[in-house]
Structures are given as structure tokens and as C-alpha cells.
Amino acid sequence: MSQSEPGQMTQQAEIPDGGVNRQFALLDEFVASLPYKKENLIAILHRAQEIFGSLPEEVQMHIAYLLDIPAAKVYGVVSFYSFFTMKARGRHVVNVCTGTACFVRGAAKIQLEVEKQLGIKTGETTEDGLFTLESLRCVGACGLAPVLVIDGKVYGKVEVGQVKEILGEYREK
Amino acid sequence: MRLETTDALNRLRDESQRLIEVRAQARIEPWEQQMGSIPEDSGAEKAESIPECSGVEKTESIPGGVGVEDTESVPQNAGEKNKEEVEDQDKDKDKDKDREEPAPEGAGGAAPEERAKREMTVLVCGGTGCQASDSEEIIARMRKELAARQMQDRVRVVKTGCFGFCEKGPIMEIHPDDVFYIEVSPDDVPAIVEEHLIQGRYLERLLYVNPVNGERLERNLPFYHRQLRIALRHCGLIAPEDVKEYIALGGYQALAKALFQMKPSEVIAEIRASGLRGRGGGGFSTGLKWELMSRAEGGQRYIICNADEGDPGAFMDRSILEGDPNSVLEGMALAGYAVGATHGFIYIRAEYPLAVHRLQTAIRQATGYGLLGERILGSDFCFGIEIKYGAGAFVCGEETALIHSIEGGRGEPSVKPPYPAQEGLWGKPTCVNNVETLANVPIIIERGADWYAEIGTEKSKGTKVFALAGKVNNVGLVEVPMGTTLREIIFDIGGGVKKGKRFKAAQTGGPSGGCIPAQCLDTPIDYESLLGIGSMMGSGGLIVLDEDDCMVNVAKFYLEFTVDESCGRCTACRVGTKRLHEILSRITEGKGELEDLDRLTELGGIIKDASLCGLGQSAPNPVLSTLKYFRDEYVAHIVERHCPAGVCEALARYTITEKCIGCTVCAKNCPVSCIAGSPKKQHVIDQERCIRCGTCQAKCPVDAIVRK
């Protein structure tokens, strides 16, 4: 069964001819391909976030309409899970791992440094729309703690002094 | 190609031998070799007293614990096969001797022309940790180098799952030499090809150095000595993306055995007799769970594999799924056969893209061979598996919450009873088992309950995988028999505390567990003993804390986590954890009062009593256990307004050590002029007036100022 694969979810899917209609069409196509719908709400939201980059109100309304369920139910699920976001993310999503292993190896300092370098707090997006800073709980690369994840790429054994350089790579991209 | 009979499966197994031939000579039955290598004295050591560690029922519970030394513990029916293996091993040992004579040139004894013809296999770790350190690039470079020398036909490069020794990744192992390389970088590849694969000379600089004697080891690293890898039996040995390698090592034989030689009730009886308990944390008897399920009314029923590994700092489930996904699929199919379910779901965290990918591949391949799906191996049994994704909610590790999440709703737990075994997914009887539990199932069916029940303690059988992390030298995945002590895990396997610092505590069980102090290091670990000392097994996260960690701050960290992750359904958990967190914050900011300690205890008790699910019931554990064992640290924060570990910013003390050269820079920069001293003499900070801004430490040119 073709289900959305998480992982690249932080980046928008490649949309050849662009446009909102095309995005909705992609979502409709995905929903149509599912053998059962309402029970697949979470998979649908994953796919929608992949397509749209976030889950704004109109997308949630559309999904509610497609599945014939109350929009409140869709919103209830979106707001429950930390993976879903209603705000558009920046081009690059920076995640500081705040799992226990990273915590005891100084993740807080890394987080402060990233906040300083980007001039935003965790959960915010830079004004130029380039970076969104988030924190996540454990990517399971505890041997490399503290860990910084940018667009799915894991940077291990990060030191405060390296943060600027690492972020710099993405400023140029 | 669908396998329609057991014979067809056996044929495929035999045909696939060539894939693993080269590795087979060294590591074909890793757990048996390891069982042989567990020192006899380990049981005796443990039987010593446990000093001042309250609440533990001493060690009666580990008779024969890890004393499963020799091959006698293997059940009779495997006896003959086993003898052969032992002989094979002996042969291997002889080979080893031959090889090792002209050390370090392992295969150097062979004539050059022979060397040039040898079939070899290069295993490269493709786990998340090693991939983050460029193991993919190592594989690509290796393939390119081999192709350039026309060696691709005689040297196989295999991307395996996690070896467990994550600290030293990326890991590479070369067979048949059985040489273990650590911290390999893509730039090392040409040298490995040239020196090792062509010349047969081992690369000294990539070998592990035994910290005890400085010796470089090609194999038998101390990290693996006391381990007994059953759930991780194939991790780091086979290619997880090729089901044929799993089949070559006897994969799906247990399923075939169950389908054609056992009744479902016999499968359940076997699992029950093995003493296997849920590895997700609760420790409920797996066999009993299945039995309850099989008795439930109603036709349709489901098996769920709980792969929502939410405990931050635990990564064993991910590693099993990445390194040996088929063992979990086979375990699920066996569970399905036992309880009469035809459909299974794997509920997995969206944060684990690699594990998802490997699972999808494994399901596709297994279904292709008819090992999943309709009429498995030509029997009447049908079992399909579907993957469901989590979306970042810790509470979804709780089985009722998980079920609601699979149904597409908010992952809020519900009241038990009715238990999922009675009324679960879509109202049907549902059996939820953890990844590690399921990975143990096929081997139990294959080898028998007696074999498994020999391992471990009286009430906790088998092994447990721990994710050893934090301030320990050898971060990684460790699988040991139940009843092994924390000291063995942290010091013998883990190599002790990083940078020679003093051990302070071990945190087990993540946000649901507690902190275990040094005086409990000799507690043999099993479900009961950990509960006895105020912690819990949890999923097996094991974080080592040293003298630089503030226990109040650690408790605060976990509470912050539960405040975030509480689903909000029960007031006690939703509001209670928030209040606990506020009190802890107050204490770390130097605004605490002694009465706060009583408030923490009282509130903690209420939250435990009044919460619906495991999350709330165990949320106060980090606070209560640190209060129990590290009360003096709390008191220091409150009474002396001092954080002994120097972690809490507001309570830190800056002092100038004798390294001071008297340059006066600190005094000049201090915003409140609280540093006194004459030039070229050691300066002193007036603690009363110090505002703890840290400027002096930042400005000191010789690092003479410490925060403690």
C-alpha cells in the first residue's frame, strides 16, 4: 500500500508545476488511493504536511470534508501531535536533540548557541524564512551526543564553536 | 517466488548459505559463542551483599543467573547440531592461531596468490548512528575502490544493522579474518582495500585499543565479553535489507515449525514456559497476554507491534528494526498464529525514517516469498502486516493510547479494564507487544522454552537490551542476561565513567524511571529489583550521570518532559506534573524552602495514585528517587543556596584556583567589583557580593576560575 513515508516531512515535496490546486490534487489523489479513510487520518495528515509544508486551517477543513468528519476532530489530532504544525516552516529545519543522552552532554548550550546565531527562540522561524528552530526528543544517535539535526542530516558530537559554521553551510544553500 | 512448503524454505536457506559463508566461519552462532565466554565467577560476584540499598530483596532471585556457561544449557534436541558447531568453533580457533602468529598480519600467513583469491566480506554498520558519521559514503567508496581493482566479485560489501558499539562508530568488520575496525572514515577506505583486502595486513591504527593495557584488539573486544546477544543476535551480522540472509541463518524456521508441528495453544504454552516478559517496561508475561487473547470472544483480532520508542535516550527497538526487521515480523506472525489473528500493525515513530524504510523492505520481501500474507508456506494461516506512523507523542507508547492513535484519533489512554486483549483496536481483541519482546519470540520457538528459561533470574528470564548512554566511555547497545549488575554493565562493558570522573547515578527507565545511586550498583537488574530501588526497567534506557550532574536539575529535566508529554486527560497528571516542575524550578533558582521537599513527596504520591495511565503513574519517579537518594543535594540548593555540581546558574559559585597568575583582568572586568587581590598574587571572589554573571571566568586568560 502506498503510504506516505515520514522523514522528508520537514521539506516540501517537489511540485513540478507548482500552485495550490496542484497541491490539493496531490492530496486528493493520496486519499483516494487509501483502502480506508477515516482511520488513516494521521497518515493523511503526514502526507498533507509533506505536500503543503504545514497544516493551515484550509488544509484541515479540506481533509475534514474529504473524510466526512468534523473539522474539530482534525484540529484535535493536529494539535495533539507535536509532529504536526500549523505554521509554515522555514526552508531549513534545525532540530536540537534534547533527549537525555544529549541533555547530559550539554545539549542546552548547543540550543542556546543556535538561538543566538539565528536570533530566534526554539519554535520560531527566522524573518527571512530560511530557518525554523525546533527541538526533538532523541533521534537515537546517543553515541554521538550532543546531536544537531538539520533537514534530516545528523551532526554528532557538536561543540558550541561549530554551530556557526554548520549553520553557515545552509545559509549559502 | 512464493515458498509453498517448508521444504521450499529449507531449499532457499541452503541456497542462501553462499551469501553468509564467509562470515559464517567466524560468527555464525554468536550467542552460543558468547554464552561460552561468560566468566563463571560472574554469578558468585553478584551474590555478595548489596550495601545499604533499601528495598531490594537481595539476590535470591538470581540462582544460576548468568551461570549459563557451557553448552549443556542448550536443549537436547539441538544437541547434535550443537556438537558440530562446537567442533567448528574449535576449528576456527585453530585457524585463529594460524592467523595470529605473524601478527599483526592476520592473513599474512597465506601465500600471496592465495590471498588474491580469497572470498571476503566487509560488513559496514548502517545504523542511524554510524550513518550520521558517513558510513554510507564508506560503503560507496569501498564499492568504487573494489570495482576499480576488479575485486567486486570476491569481496562482498554488506550494509548491516547496528553493531552496538556506537561510541566508536562507524564500525567495519572484515571476514573471514574477523577483524573489527573502529572509527573508520571514508578516507581510510583505499588503505583498507590495499593493505587488508589485498596484502592481508591489518590496519593497526583502526583497531580498538584496550584501555586496560593499551593492547590493540582485532576481535573479542571487552565491550562484548559479558554480553549475551539474543534479541540482537543478527544485528551487525546480516544485511537487514535482504531477507535471504535472515533465512540463511535459520530465519522463518520457527514460523514453519509452529505452523506444521505445533498447535496455537502449544506455541502459547512454550512462550509462557520460557518466562518471557514484556520488554517495553511493564514486564507483563507475554505468554499470559497471548493466552488471555486466545480466550477472548469475537472473530477478528489484531497483533500490534509497539515500536513507539519514546523514552529519550533509548534506541534498542530502533536498532532491532534497522538491523533485523525480519525477526520482528516473524515474531508477529508467530503471535498471530498463537492467538488467531490475521492482521498485524507496527506502530512506529515518525522520527525513525531508516527503521521505517527497512521495515517496508522486509515486509515486501517476506510477502513476496509467501512468509507473510495469504496461506503462509502453503498452510491455512494468513497474516498481513501494515505500518502505522506515530506523530510525536510519548504517551502513545501506552497501549490504549497507541490503539486510539492507530484508529486515527488523539492518542489519549483509556481506562483498563476492558484490557486491549478483550476490547482493543476497533473494539476487537488486540495484543500489543514491544519490538524487543517480539524479536525474542522466534528463537524461543526454535530452541525451546527450557533453553530460554535457563538464562536470567528466577522471575525475569532471558536477556535485556540496554541503551547505555550519557557520561560513559562506551556508549552503545548492550544485551546482558537478566540479573547482571549495573556495575558490570557500566564498568565492565561500558568501560566506566568518561574522563575518569566519579560515578554519581544511573538513570533507568527514562521519564518513568528513577536515579540509582552508587550504593546500588551491585543490584542484579531485573524487573522486581529495579522497582524495589525506586526505578523501573522501562524500555531499557540507561543513562550514566557523573559528579558534574546536578540531580535536582536532572529531575527537573524529566519533569519538563512529562509536562510536555502529558496528554492532559487526568488532572493529577496535567496539573500535578506542572506543579512539580514549578517547585523544582524554584529550587534550582535558589528560591526553594525546606517545606518544598514535603510538597514534592506528597504531590508525587497523589499523581501516582490518581493518574489513569502509566505515564502519570510513573511521572513522579525521577523526583521521588532523587529525593530518596540525593536529598542532601536538594537541601544544599535550599539551605546553602548552592548547587554542589555547579550546574544551576543561579546557585553556582565561582572560585579562583591556584592557577591564577594575578593578571587582574577578572577584577577589572567584574561588574560589581567583588574580586580582590594584588597583581601577581592569587585573587579571591567575595561570594556574598558575586552576582554569578560568569564574566570573570570568560575573561580569565589561564582558565583559573571554576564554577562549582
Say which of A7, A76, A105 has its CB closest to residue B410.
A76
Shared-domain flag, residues B209 and B298 = no
Instruction: Find chain A residues with C-beta within 8 A of B132's C-beta.
Output: 141, 144, 147, 153-156
For A:70-89, CB contacts with B below 8 A are 73, 76-77, 80-84
Which residues partner with B508 through β-bridges?
B514, B542
Say which of A9, A80, A142 has its CB closest to residue B350.
A9
Tell me which of A138 and B192 has the higher pLDDT.
B192
Q: Which three cell numbers stand for residue B62?
A: 538470581
Number of domains in chain B: 4
pLDDT at B443 over 70: yes
Residue listed under C-alpha cell 493520496: A30
- pLDDT for B27 equals 55
Instruction: Find chain B residues with C-beta within 8 A of A142's C-beta.
Output: 129, 166, 313, 315, 467, 469, 475
A90 touches chain B (CB under 8 A): no
Shared-domain flag, residues B624 and B657 = no
- pLDDT for B169 equals 84
Shared-domain flag, residues B384 and B254 = yes
Instruction: Find chain B residues with C-beta within 8 A of A136's C-beta.
Output: 351, 392
- pLDDT for B91 equals 42
- pLDDT for B312 equals 84
Instruction: Find chain B residues with C-beta within 8 A of A1's C-beta.
Output: 386
Shared-domain flag, residues B77 and B116 = yes
Shared-domain flag, residues B305 and B442 = yes
Binding residue per annotation — A23?
no
For A:8-47, CB contacts with B below 8 A are 8-9, 38-43, 45-46
In angstroms, rounded to a whole number, what is the distance separating the alpha carbons of residues B26 and B93?
A: 9
Q: Which three cell numbers stand for residue A45?
A: 495528515
Name the percent of chain B lying above pLDDT 70.
87
Chain centre distance of CA B151: 36
Pinpoint the residues of chain A covered by CATH 3.40.30.10: 92-172
pLDDT at B101 over 90: no
Instruction: Find chain B residues with C-beta within 8 A of A143's C-beta.
Output: 129, 166-167, 169, 469, 475-476
pLDDT at B88 over 60: no
- pLDDT for A18 equals 54
User: In this structure, what CATH number is given to the domain that contains residue B596?
Assistant: 1.20.1440.230
Shared-domain flag, residues B277 and B405 = yes
pLDDT at A10 over 50: no
Shared-domain flag, residues B657 and B582 = no
Contact across the interface for B408 and A76, Cβ inside 8 Å: no
Say which of A46, A144, A156 has its CB closest to residue B391.
A46
Contact across the interface for B352 and A45, Cβ inside 8 Å: no
Average pLDDT over residues A33-37: 90
Name the percent of chain A lying above pLDDT 90.
64
- pLDDT for B112 equals 63
- pLDDT for B108 equals 47
Write out the H or E segment, with its range, that includes residue B157.
Answer: strand B155-160
Shared-domain flag, residues B349 and B390 = yes
- DSSP letters along B40-78, please? THHHHHHTS--TT-TT--TTTT-TTTT---SGGGS-GGG
Say which of B408, B412, B507 has its CB closest to residue A38.
B408
Q: Which three cell numbers stand for residue B243?
A: 531477507
- pLDDT for B118 equals 82
pLDDT digits (tens, 9 = 90+) for B684-707: 999 888 888 888 998 999 999 988
Contact across the interface for B549 and A6, Cβ inside 8 Å: no
Interface test with A, best of B304, B316, B322, B351 (most A CBs within 10 A): B351
- pLDDT for B82 equals 43
- pLDDT for A5 equals 45
- The amino acid at residue A110 is I
Average pLDDT over residues B11-27: 82
pLDDT at B322 over 90: yes
The alpha carbon of residue B497 is apart from the nearest alpha carbon of chain A, in Å, by 13
Average pLDDT, chain B: 87
In a domain, B433, yes or no: yes
In a domain, B157, yes or no: yes
In angstroms, rounded to a whole number, what is the distance separating the alpha carbons of residues B434 and B441?
A: 11
A100 touches chain B (CB under 8 A): yes
User: In this structure, what CATH number is given to the domain that contains residue B74?
Assistant: 3.40.30.10
pLDDT digits (tens, 9 = 90+) for B559-605: 999 999 999 999 999 999 999 999 999 999 999 999 999 999 999 99
pLDDT at B24 over 80: no
In angstroms, rounded to a whole number, what is the distance separating the alpha carbons of residues A139 and B353?
A: 10
- The amino acid at residue B259 is L
Q: Which three cell numbers stand for residue B667?
A: 577584577
Shared-domain flag, residues B76 and B120 = yes
pLDDT at B216 over 50: yes
- pLDDT for B707 equals 84
> In B502-550, where does DSSP find H-type helix?
527-532
> Residue B1's closest CA among B344, B260, B381, B377?
B377
Cβ partners under 8 Å of residue A80, min gap 6: B393, B410, B411, B412, B567
In a domain, B349, yes or no: yes
Per-residue pLDDT band at B34 (split at 50, 70, 90): very low
In angstroms, rounded to a whole number, what is the distance separating the alpha carbons of residues B287 and B298?
A: 20
Instruction: Find chain B residues with C-beta within 8 A of A100's C-beta.
Output: 312-313, 469-470, 507, 510, 541, 543, 557-558
Contact across the interface for B129 and A142, Cβ inside 8 Å: yes
User: In this structure, what CATH number is given to the domain that contains residue B371?
Assistant: 3.40.50.11540
Average pLDDT over residues B33-51: 41
Q: Nearest chain B residue to A40 by CA: give it.
A: B408
Per-residue pLDDT band at B115 (split at 50, 70, 90): low
Average pLDDT over residues B367-377: 96
In a domain, B400, yes or no: yes
pLDDT digits (tens, 9 = 90+) for B227-252: 999 999 999 999 999 999 999 999 99
Q: What angle separates helix B621-629 from helix B551-565, to the nearest 10 degrees?
A: 170
Shared-domain flag, residues B281 and B157 = no
Average pLDDT over residues B163-176: 91
Find the domain containing B203 and state its range. Answer: 67-221
For A:110-149, CB contacts with B below 8 A are 136-145, 147
- pLDDT for B116 equals 66
Contact across the interface for B475 and A99, Cβ inside 8 Å: no
Contact across the interface for B408 and A77, Cβ inside 8 Å: yes
User: In this structure, what CATH number is given to the domain that contains residue B669?
Assistant: 3.30.70.20
Q: What angle separates helix B595-610 from helix B571-588, to the nearest 10 degrees?
A: 160
Binding residue per annotation — A97?
yes
In a domain, B272, yes or no: yes
Per-residue pLDDT band at B672 (split at 50, 70, 90): very high
The CATH number of domain A92-172 is 3.40.30.10: yes
- pLDDT for B23 equals 81
pLDDT at B462 over 90: yes
Per-residue pLDDT band at B25 (split at 50, 70, 90): low
Shared-domain flag, residues B278 and B391 = yes
- pLDDT for B207 equals 96
